Structure formats: structure tokens, C-alpha cells
Amino acid sequence: MGKVFGLFTMAFSISGQPAISLPVHITPEGLPVGVQVVANSGREDLLLAIAARLEEAIGWQKIVPSTGF
């Protein structure tokens, strides 16, 4: 899996667009599910506002994934 690390963020790193990945769910099997949100260049304010709204609506900060141990 190491070969695909950063594959989905590379385009935004190159373009300079702000992007954020947020945990939003844990499957019944204990696997994390996330969403990546991207904004136009210079719109970090919008990106952080969206992240705050998602955090409030979903409550992901209370989700604790299983470590499998």
C-alpha cells in the first residue's frame, strides 16, 4: 500500500490548492472512512469552516477506531 501513499493528494500539492482529509465514519468492521475536501487557492478559510461544520454535524472527534488488539 505504500506505493499509493499520497496518490490522491498529489494533484492538490502540485496546484497549491488547500485540501483536508477528515475522518467521518467507522464501518461495522472497524475500518475508518474519510472524506477529502479541496478549496480554491487562497480559500483556507472556507476549507476550515467546512471542516468545523462537518466536525459539529458528525461528531467524528468522539469516534474511536478499533486497534484490533
pTM for the predicted model, two decimal places: 0.66
Is the dihedral angle over the CA atoms 28, 3, 50, 39 positive or is it negative?
A: negative
Strand ranges, E, within the chain: 19-26, 32-38
Model pLDDT for residues 53-69, shown as the tens digit of each residue: 988 888 766 766 566 65
Q: Can you give the pLDDT at residue 61?
A: 65
Q: Can you give the pLDDT at residue 1?
A: 46
Stretch 3-24: mean pLDDT: 76
Asked whether 34 and 20 are in contact (CB, 8 A), the reply is no
Model pLDDT for residues 16-57, shown as the tens digit of each residue: 888 888 888 888 887 878 888 899 989 999 999 998 998 888
> What are residue 14's phi and psi, to 5 degrees?
-70, -40
